[in-house]
């Protein structure tokens, strides 16, 4: 407005703004400045006048502004939301089991309490030596139940919480320590901020990922081009080093030079010359930067921009242009143009670049556009972003006439954007297409492999991006997100009004339902606008679609929409993981069950808000398949084992109450009971944090095995029932053997108690040993050292005269019958368990067992199912559009595994159809596969 | 990413501790046993090989124990309906004479036990009703708070030894004779040595014991310190089971087969009110203890079962082989036919 900087602080005025909200696309405010600066006019302020929190100023050193919202009231602050404390599925399951045990405990207490009172009245009063009072106090009936409540209180292991916290923090440490998850470029380590949710990593069902900066490196590079029908860069994957193109440049092929000119001029890039003389480019759009840089490498150097004057240097001969008008890029027009005048010849040109669908139809009649369309098609198949470059020579009159219209349109107040677009259209026609430029938004290393592996592991991917639909689809194609045409199918939901969206949604839903019976990779694509309508008015069909479809691409979505989608999936009882790198992903990261932040180019905002921060997307594979899976397996064992050991000792107490007149006598003394949970049984199981059922290599080769974690196969009521039964069986074994071998003259209370306790400890050691898959030195130390430790502790206690256990352990250790009893207890307790485990292991082996066997025996399995390395370079070299298609026979990957799934109970909506489909499917799948291949 | 890449980063080198790195990378060398048929069948056969001989040894040891059990509670009471009245009446003559035959030669030491059935020494009210401090130290005479309802006399004096256990002391006595010659029962050293030296005090004498209105079991000589009251010590080692034997004394001579032994029993102890049984047991002992077939039988059973299982598993292995780790069992490797 032309106000001197010094006077800025004297401006007085009022900004009328709405109260804080989270819509980052709208800011409808007015500004009124007081005289003397300006008249008391109202200036409309829109989102275009605002700088959002955590935005970066580029190409501008400074800007003056007024802080309208601050702190958590900023648009982004409102979007952020409050993070809820996160509870893992495993924790929820443990809580459920604890509840079940609590109910069981109450039942036991009530039953034994009644039995105790009955026994007391029928038998107990006859025992003169017990001296029951004739008339007890009023609470006498409660005494025995309360005694049993005390006895049974150890049924719920308190130590489980402590043990879990300990091992969880170790899981987190393992993530921090992992050398294979260190970003080699920056040296940034992975970090687990939230130490409590590692198990959830192994149970992820949906991954919602940001695109730019997460999947891609956020670096655009010009890769290929097609100029007047000739393809450059196809042989070696890089047009800049293509000898033919270099040759064409040096010989001065007119088409090529014109193409380069458009690349260099048709943009809003500002060249900055550093002191050393090198030129760097500042651009709003990374695409433009890539084009200008590429042009510079091809000797068309954009040197300077001074106002409207552009200086270009081609082959050391300077060319100067004057920019007359810039026809800006809008997402509707999908193209941008500049009108320039050649300062030497005075000729006026219109130079344009844009998406193929908006440029190709505007050619002059007669030009063949087929090659260009093919080029676009081919490049898109390779996941490259394409831009068509075109130009037209303008006559002076034509331009002048148009320029006045353009000025007028630019100053309209109502519907300006629409008017401008309309005027632009009047100029943009009869193009001569120069060629197609293909730009790669480079995927991060290992992204396609990571996504493929995780998809094989049964994880569904959703891409949520603020980017355009086409770009999103292209990236999705190139990183194995969706399969290209014959196998994959993209269904687009769009529309501006409710009706359109509704129709579109229903059509997509119908198609999805139909194609569900085919081995097709169906993905739906939705943009932010349609998504908002769908979420608001058609939540139910959209939810159904979300469940049916394994893949989705949501483009042009806002941070809060990202969070809403996470919420939607969470409501369907899916475990979600959100991964992103920027401030706009924070909300989604906090909302999801697991938030992963990439500490990338867009700062650390996401990484700070996240539960885990990693340096590169590809570490996600290791995070989930290695750390998540191991954590889940270990916690599953540890928690159930904790219940097992508590139940074991509690069952023995209950049994012993039957031989003590149901009076609630504790067989074990309080020292033993306390030490049982704290010392004797907690140490061996803690080293299960080192247990690995399968090697990392095997898991990476067979990611499908993650299914066992996802479906919660290792910790659920039925596995728990197994442990419950085992503890009951072991309690019977210990109790029966103890009271029979220590009968009659040996049935001294302290001795019997100690024999039973030693029996438990011996069984514990062997149970842990049997359930351990890999013994490191630490495991041996913990398991067998703990057994020795048990004796050492008891010898020490037995040496103190004041304790009730005085000399007990020494006496027992001298008796041969004690040791014989121990061996008998172990053999009787473990024999059936071993036999059952062997039978299941050999004749009803789970997939984990098969892989274990193969791994240890070195079977042929390792050569099968290895994921073919599909690096970017091979993709670049391979021109065939099918280069991204998956290796054969992948279609049947998921069905049989899922068809055995008991997890159906866990899902609230839609699982039935899903699993039915898989069960009925295999024959169908085969026919289709053959056709498709 | 190779480890070389990583170590070349300067920031990494500092944080890398070579000693722990195998631990932090979860790459400690590990032994990963799997349940192969050979391993499991081997374990089962080993079990059988170890268990059957031990079982035989234990059985033969138990077989070598010579045991004479005589239940006398029914026989030593007049067959009236007033059993409880009879036993409670201090005036009645409760002497009872039993005659036993030694089945096999018994070598010394021969143990004399009394066995009680259906007697709940492990009852919660009973087992707690004692004061170990009082038993050991004369200073703690008055710490009787656990001993209710037998802690203090009516006028508030502490009872030593207090509590229901001591109060219900077993008081039947046995006198053995062989061919009209008395057979000496040695009642020395029948209690645990630790009890004599560390649990029952040499300066603690019984006081106010069995002086209340209710008489429980036996009385104690107030002039003998607790550390020499071995019957009390044996009794106060409470049994964990409702059927138990307690050592009464030892016979230090051998007994020949078919010798007749006459036992003169003072049948004082009341088990009639709760249908308890009283038995006199004369037994020898071996390395396994008294007569107990349970361990031997269990060992035989486990050994036998292991053998059977080993055979079954071997047959299964031969006739229904299932290759371990066959990738064709992985559903995702099954190719569409």
Q: How large is the average pLDDT for residues B252-278?
A: 92
**Band of residue A718 on the pLDDT scale cut at 50, 70, 90:** very high
State which residue of chain A sits closest to B293, comparing Cα positions: A741
Do B231 and B166 touch, CB atoms closer than 8 A? no
Inspect the interface and report whether the beta carbons of A859 and B326 lie closer than 8 Å.
yes
B150–A contact, CB cutoff 8 A = yes
Reported as half-sphere exposure (CB side, CA atoms, 13 A), residue A835 has a value of 20
pLDDT for the residue numbered B269: 93
φ, ψ at A70 (rounded to 5°): -130, 165
User: Is pLDDT above 90 for A118?
Assistant: yes
Task: Return the pLDDT at A601.
Answer: 62
pLDDT confidence of residue A780: 93
Q: Is the dihedral of CA A354, A357, A362, A366 positive or negative?
A: positive
Separation between Cα atoms, residue A811 and residue A798, nearest integer Å: 9
The secondary structure of residue A72, as a DSSP letter, is: G
Determine the pLDDT at residue A847: 86
Phi and psi torsions of A485, nearest 5° = -40, -70
pLDDT of residue A477: 79
Contact B241 A816 (CB under 8 A): no
Q: How confident is the model at residue A885 (pLDDT cuts 50, 70, 90)?
A: very low
Distances, alpha carbon A347 to alpha carbons A259, A306, A308, in Å: 17, 20, 16
Task: Check CB contact under 8 Å for A749 and B239.
Answer: yes
Note whether A821 contacts B309, CB cutoff 8 Å: no
Say how far apart CA B270 and CA B267 lie, in whole Å.
Answer: 8
The residue of chain B nearest to residue A740, with distances taken between CA atoms, is B294
B21 touching A (Cβ < 8 Å): yes
Chosen for mutation from B35, B148, B200, B286 (greatest number of chain A CBs closer than 10 Å) is B35
Residues above pLDDT 70, as percent of chain A? 87
| B304 contacts chain A (CB < 8 A) | no
ipTM: 0.93
Contact B123 A663 (CB under 8 A): yes
How close, in Å, is residue A545 to chain B by CA atoms?
26
pTM for this entry = 0.80
Order of strands, sheet of A42-45, starting from the edge strand that comes earlier in the sequence:
A13-16, A29-33, A42-45
Looking at per-residue pLDDT, the higher value among A780 and A276 belongs to A780
State how far the Cα of B151 lies from the Cα of B220, in Å rounded to an integer: 16
Distance from CA of A824 to the nearest CA of B (A): 7
**Does residue B179 belong to the interface with chain A, where contact is any CB pair within 8 Å?**
no
**For range A890-916, the mean pLDDT:** 33
Residues 77-96 of B with CB under 8 A from A: none
Interface test with B, best of A747, A784, A895, A932 (most B CBs within 10 A): A747
B31 → chain A, closest CA residue: A775
Inter-residue contact B314 to B147 (CB < 8 Å): no
The 3-state DSSP class for residue B33 equals: coil
- Distant-in-sequence, close-in-space partners of B146: CB < 8 Å, separation ≥ 6: B128, B129, B130, B131, B163
Consecutive H or E run containing A349: strand A348-354
- Closest by Cα among B23, B75, B304, B80 to A778: B23
Task: Strands of B150-236 (E only): list them.
Answer: 173-178, 181-183
- Interacting residues of A888 by C-beta distance below 8 A, sequence separation 6+: A929, A933
With b meaning 16 or more CB within 10 Å and e meaning fewer, what string describes A628-657?
Answer: bbbbbbbbbbbbbbbbbbbbbbbbbbbbbb
Would the pLDDT of A237 be above 80? no
The answer, yes or no, to whether residue A654 has pLDDT greater than 60, is yes
Residue A913, pLDDT > 70, answer no
Residue A558 above 50 pLDDT? yes
By DSSP bridging, strand A612-614 and strand A191-192 are: antiparallel
Closest chain B C-alpha to A170 CA, distance in angstroms = 10
Per-residue pLDDT at A892 exceeds 80: no
Least confident residue range of A472-486, A572-586, A882-896, B230-244: A882-896
B245-263 pLDDT, tens digit each: 999 999 999 999 999 999 9
Q: Which of A417-426, A602-611, A627-636, A874-883 has the highest mean pLDDT?
A: A627-636
Residues A561-575: what's their mean pLDDT? Answer: 90
Confirm if B307 and B48 have CB atoms less than 8 A apart: yes
Which residues on A lie below 8 Å from B243 (Cβ)? 743-744, 747
Cβ neighbors of A371 (< 8 A, separation 6 or more) are: A226, A229
What's the Cα-to-Cα distance from A928 to each of A889, B115, B337, rounded to whole Å?
Answer: 10, 81, 12
The residue among B10, B124, B169 with the most chain A CBs within 10 A of its CB, best to mutate, is B124
pLDDT at res. A762: 96
8 A C-beta contact, residue A713 and residue A693: no
In the numeric block, which tokens belong to residue A14? 């009022």
Q: Identify the closest residue of chain B to A126 by CA–CA distance.
A: B274
Identify which of A802, A636, A626 has the alpha carbon closest to the alpha carbon of residue A700: A626
* Digit-coded pLDDT (tens) for B128-172: 999 999 999 889 888 888 888 888 888 888 998 999 999 999 999
Shortest distance between the Cα of A177 and any Cα of chain B, in A, equals 6
Q: B-chain residues within 8 Å CB-CB of A704? A: 330, 332
pLDDT at residue A58 tops 90: no
Largest CA distance in chain A: 127
Over residues A370-382, the mean pLDDT reads: 81
Task: Say whether A210 is catalytic.
Answer: yes
Task: Answer whether B103's CB lies under 8 Å from B66's CB.
Answer: yes
Pick from A535, A581, A543: which is nearest to A561 by CA? A535
Q: Which residues of A touch B159 (CB under 8 A)?
A: none
CA distance A707 to chain B (A): 12
Two structure tokens written together for A236? 């070696």
Residues of B in contact with A834 (CB under 8 A): 35, 40, 43
Task: Using CB atoms, pick whichever of B240, B313, B325 lies closest to residue A861.
Answer: B325
On the question of pLDDT at A385 being above 90, the answer is no
Which chain B residues in 37-66 lie under 8 Å from chain A, judged by CB atoms? 37, 40, 43-44, 47, 51, 54, 58
Number of residues that make up chain A: 933
B245 contacts in chain A (CB < 8 Å): 744-745, 747
In the set A178, A200, A210, A325, the catalytic residue is A210
Q: Which of A745, A838, A891 sits opposite B247 (nearest CB)?
A: A745
Residues from chain B that touch A177, judged by Cβ atoms under 8 A, are: 24-25
Which residue of A179, A657, A859, A866 is the best one to mutate when testing the B interface, meaning the one whose CB has the most B CBs within 10 A? A179
- Mean pLDDT (whole number) for B92-108: 91
What is the DSSP-derived secondary structure letter of residue B285? -
pLDDT for A82: 65
Q: What is the pLDDT of residue A479?
A: 81
Residue A642's contacts (CB-CB under 8 Å, 6 or more residues apart) are A157, A159, A160, A163, A685
Does residue B112 or residue A867 have the better pLDDT? B112
Whether the pLDDT of residue A864 is over 60: the answer is no
Contact yes or no for A847/A708 (Cβ under 8 A): yes
- Specify whether the CB–CB gap between A612 and A625 falls below 8 A: no
First to last CA, chain A: 65
- Is the pLDDT assigned to residue A737 strictly greater than 90? yes
- How high does pLDDT run on average in chain A? 82
Q: Beta strand pairing status for A191-192 and A206-209?
A: unpaired
Mean pLDDT of A262-269: 87
Which tens digit of pLDDT belongs to each residue from A795-809? 999 999 888 889 999
Going by C-alpha positions, the residue among A622, A616, A480 that lies closest to residue A551 is A480
Residue A540 CB partners (closer than 8 Å, separation 6+): none
Show residues of chain B in contact with A748, CB under 8 Å: 237-240
Partners of A461 in the β-ladder: A207, A551
Q: Are B289 and A824 a contacting pair at CB < 8 A? A: no
Where residue A149 falls among pLDDT bands split at 50, 70, 90?
A: very high
Least confident of A255-269, A733-747, A894-908, B279-293: A894-908
- pLDDT tens digits for A294-343? 888 888 888 888 878 888 888 888 888 998 888 887 767 778 899 999 88
Cα separation, A796 vs A784, in Å, equals: 19
Q: Considering only alpha carbons, which residue of chain B is nearest residue A801?
A: B198
Task: Using the predicted structure, report yes or no on whether residue A5 has a pLDDT greater than 90.
Answer: no
Out of B244, B298, B329, closest to residue A747 by CB: B244
pLDDT at B235: 95
Average pLDDT over residues A543-571: 87
* SS3 call for B197: helix
The residues, ordered by sequence, that sit 6+ positions from A717 with a Cβ below 8 Å of its Cβ are A96, A97, A100
In the predicted model, what is the mean pLDDT of residues B105-119?
93
From A737's Cα to the closest Cα of chain B, the distance in A is 8
Structure confidence by residue, pLDDT tens digits, B20-30: 578 888 888 88
Q: Is A887 exposed, middle or buried (0-12, 13-18, 19+ CB in 10 A)?
A: exposed
| Residue B242: per-residue pLDDT | 94
B123 close to A (CB below 8 A): yes
- Cα distances (Å, whole numbers) of residue A16 to A32, A40, A46, A69, A507: 8, 14, 12, 12, 44
Tell me, what's the pLDDT at B308?
A: 96
Task: For residue B199, list chain A residues with Cβ-Cβ distance below 8 A.
Answer: 801, 806
Residue B332: which of A126, A859, A893 has the nearest Cβ?
A893
Shortest Cα distance, chain A CAs vs residue B96, angstroms: 23
- Quote the pLDDT of residue A269: 85
The pLDDT value given to residue B251: 94
DSSP A775: B
């Amino acid at each position: 407005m032309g106000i001197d900087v010094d006077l800025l602080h004297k401006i007085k005025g009022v900004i009328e703004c709405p109260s804080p909200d989270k819509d980052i696309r709208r800011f409808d405010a007015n500004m009124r400045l007081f005289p003397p600066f300006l008249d008391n006019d109202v200036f409309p302020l829109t989102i275009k006048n605002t700088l959002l929190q955590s935005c970066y100023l580029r190409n501008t050193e400074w800007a003056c502004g007024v802080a309208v919202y601050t702190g958590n009231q900023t648009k982004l602050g409102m979007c952020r939301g409050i993070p809820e404390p996160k509870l893992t599925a495993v924790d929820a399951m443990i809580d459920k089991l604890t509840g079940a045990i609590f109910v069981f405990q109450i039942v036991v207490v009530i039953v034994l309490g009644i039995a105790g009172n009955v026994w007391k009245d029928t038998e107990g009063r006859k025992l003169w030596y017990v001296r029951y009072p004739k008339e007890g106090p009023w609470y006498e009936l409660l005494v025995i139940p309360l005694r049993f409540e005390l006895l049974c209180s150890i049924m719920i292991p308190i130590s489980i919480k402590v043990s879990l916290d300990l091992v969880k923090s170790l899981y987190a440490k393992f993530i921090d320590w992992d050398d294979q998850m260190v970003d080699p470029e920056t040296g940034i380590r992975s970090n687990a901020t939230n130490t409590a949710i590692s198990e959830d990593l192994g149970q992820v069902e949906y991954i919602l990922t940001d695109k730019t900066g997460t999947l891609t490196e956020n670096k655009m590079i010009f890769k290929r081009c097609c100029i007047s029908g000739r393809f450059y860069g196809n042989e070696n994957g890089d047009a800049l080093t293509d000898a033919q193109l270099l040759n064409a440049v040096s010989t001065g092929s007119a088409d090529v030079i014109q193409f380069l000119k458009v690349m260099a001029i048709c943009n809003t890039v500002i060249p900055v010359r550093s002191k050393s003389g090198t030129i760097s480019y500042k651009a709003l759009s990374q695409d433009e930067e890539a084009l200008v840089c590429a042009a510079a490498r091809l000797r068309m150097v954009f040197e300077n921009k001074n106002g409207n004057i552009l200086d270009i240097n081609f082959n050391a001969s300077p060319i100067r242009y004057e920019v007359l008008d810039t026809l800006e890029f809008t997402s509707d027009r999908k193209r941008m143009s500049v009108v320039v005048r050649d300062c030497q010849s005075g000729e006026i040109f219109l130079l344009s670049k844009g998406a193929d669908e908006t440029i190709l139809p505007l050619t002059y009649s007669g030009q063949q556009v087929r090659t260009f369309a093919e080029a676009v098609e081919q490049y898109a198949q390779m996941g490259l972003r394409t831009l068509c470059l075109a130009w037209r020579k303008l006559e002076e009159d034509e331009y002048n006439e148009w320029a006045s219209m353009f000025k007028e349109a630019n100053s309209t107040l109502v519907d300006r954007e629409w008017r401008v677009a309309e005027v632009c259209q009047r100029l943009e026609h009869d193009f001569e297409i120069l060629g197609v430029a293909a730009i790669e938004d480079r995927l991060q290393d290992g992204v396609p492999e990571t996504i493929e592996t995780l998809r094989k592991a049964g994880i569904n991917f959703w891409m949520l991006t603020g980017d355009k639909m086409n770009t999103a689809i292209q990236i999705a194609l190139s990183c194995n997100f969706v399969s290209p045409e014959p196998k994959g199918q993209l269904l687009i939901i769009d529309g501006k009004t409710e009706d359109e969206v509704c129709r579109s949604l229903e059509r997509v839903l119908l198609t999805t339902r139909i194609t569900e019976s085919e081995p097709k990779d169906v993905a739906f694509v939705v943009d932010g606008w349609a998504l908002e309508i769908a979420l608001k008015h058609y939540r139910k069909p959209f939810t159904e679609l979300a469940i049916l479809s394994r893949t989705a691409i949501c483009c042009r979505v806002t941070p809060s929409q990202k969070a809403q989608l996470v919420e939607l999936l969470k409501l369907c009882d899916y475990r979600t993981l959100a991964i992103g790198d920027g401030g706009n992903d924070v909300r989604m990261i906090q909302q999801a069950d697991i938030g992963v932040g990439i500490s990338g180019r867009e700062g650390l905002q996401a990484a700070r808000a996240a539960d885990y921060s990693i340096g590169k997307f590809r570490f996600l594979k290791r995070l989930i398949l290695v750390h998540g899976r191991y954590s889940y397996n270990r916690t599953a064992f540890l928690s159930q084992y904790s219940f097992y050991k508590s139940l074991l000792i509690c069952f023995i107490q209950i049994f012993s109450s039957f031989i003590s007149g149901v009076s609630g006598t504790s067989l074990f003394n309080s020292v033993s009971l306390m030490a049982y949970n704290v010392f004797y049984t907690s140490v061996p199981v803690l080293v299960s944090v080192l247990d690995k059922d399968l090697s990392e290599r095997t898991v990476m080769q067979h990611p499908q095995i993650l299914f066992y974690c996802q479906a919660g196969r290792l910790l659920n009521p039925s596995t728990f029932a197994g442990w419950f039964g085992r503890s009951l069986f072991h309690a019977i074994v210990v109790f029966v053997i103890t009271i029979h071998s220590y009968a009659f003259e040996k049935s001294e209370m302290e001795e019997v108690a100690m024999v039973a306790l030693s029996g438990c400890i011996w069984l514990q050691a062997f149970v842990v040993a049997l359930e351990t898959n890999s013994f490191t030195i630490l495991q041996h130390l913990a398991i067998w050292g703990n057994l020795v430790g048990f004796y050492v502790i008891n010898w020490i206690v037995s040496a103190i005269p004041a304790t009730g256990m005085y000399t007990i352990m020494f006496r027992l250790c001298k008796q041969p019958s004690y040791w014989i009893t121990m061996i008998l207890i172990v053999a009787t307790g473990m024999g059936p368990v071993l036999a059952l485990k062997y039978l299941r292991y050999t004749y009803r082996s789970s997939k984990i067992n098969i892989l274990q066997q193969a791994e240890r025996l070195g079977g042929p399995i390792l050569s099968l199912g290895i994921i073919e390395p599909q690096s970017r370079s091979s993709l670049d070299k391979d021109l065939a559009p099918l280069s991204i298609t998956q290796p054969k026979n992948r279609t049947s990957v998921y069905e049989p595994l899922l068809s055995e799934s008991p997890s159906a109970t866990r899902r609230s909506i839609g699982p039935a159809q899903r699993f039915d489909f898989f069960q009925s499917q295999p024959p169908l799948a085969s026919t289709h596969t053959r056709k498709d291949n | 990413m190779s480890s070389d890449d990583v170590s070349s980063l300067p920031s990494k080198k500092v944080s890398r501790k070579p000693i722990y790195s195998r631990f932090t990378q979860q790459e400690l060398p590990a032994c990963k046993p799997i349940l192969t048929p050979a391993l499991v069948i081997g374990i089962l056969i080993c079990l059988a090989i170890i268990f059957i001989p031990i079982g035989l040894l234990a059985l033969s040891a138990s077989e070598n124990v010579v045991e004479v059990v005589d239940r006398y509670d029914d026989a030593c009471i007049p067959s009236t309906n007033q059993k409880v009245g009879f036993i409670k009446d201090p005036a009645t003559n409760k002497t009872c004479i039993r005659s036993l035959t030694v089945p096999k030669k018994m070598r010394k030491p021969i143990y004399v036990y009394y066995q009680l059935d259906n007697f709940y020494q492990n009852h919660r009210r009973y087992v707690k009703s004692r004061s170990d401090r009082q038993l050991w130290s004369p200073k703690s005479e008055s710490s009787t708070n656990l001993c209710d309802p037998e802690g203090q006399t009516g006028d508030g004096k502490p009872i030593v030894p207090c509590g229901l256990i001591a109060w219900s002391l077993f008081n039947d006595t046995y006198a053995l004779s062989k061919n009209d010659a008395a057979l000496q029962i040695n009642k020395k050293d029948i209690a645990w040595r630790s009890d004599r030296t560390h649990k029952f005090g040499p300066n603690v004498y019984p006081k106010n014991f069995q002086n209340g209105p209710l008489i429980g079991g036996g009385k104690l000589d107030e002039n003998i310190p607790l550390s020499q009251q071995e019957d009390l010590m044996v009794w106060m080692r409470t049994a964990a089971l409702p059927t138990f034997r307690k050592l009464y004394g030892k016979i230090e001579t051998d007994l020949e087969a078919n010798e007749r032994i006459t036992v003169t029993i003072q049948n004082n102890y009341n088990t009639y009110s709760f249908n308890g049984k009283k038995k006199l047991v004369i037994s020898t002992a071996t390395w396994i203890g008294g007569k107990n077939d349970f361990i031997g039988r269990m060992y035989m059973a486990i050994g036998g079962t292991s053998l059977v299982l080993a055979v079954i598993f071997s047959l299964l292995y031969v006739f229904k082989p299932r290759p371990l780790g066959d990738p064709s069992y992985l559903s995702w490797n099954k190719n569409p036919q």
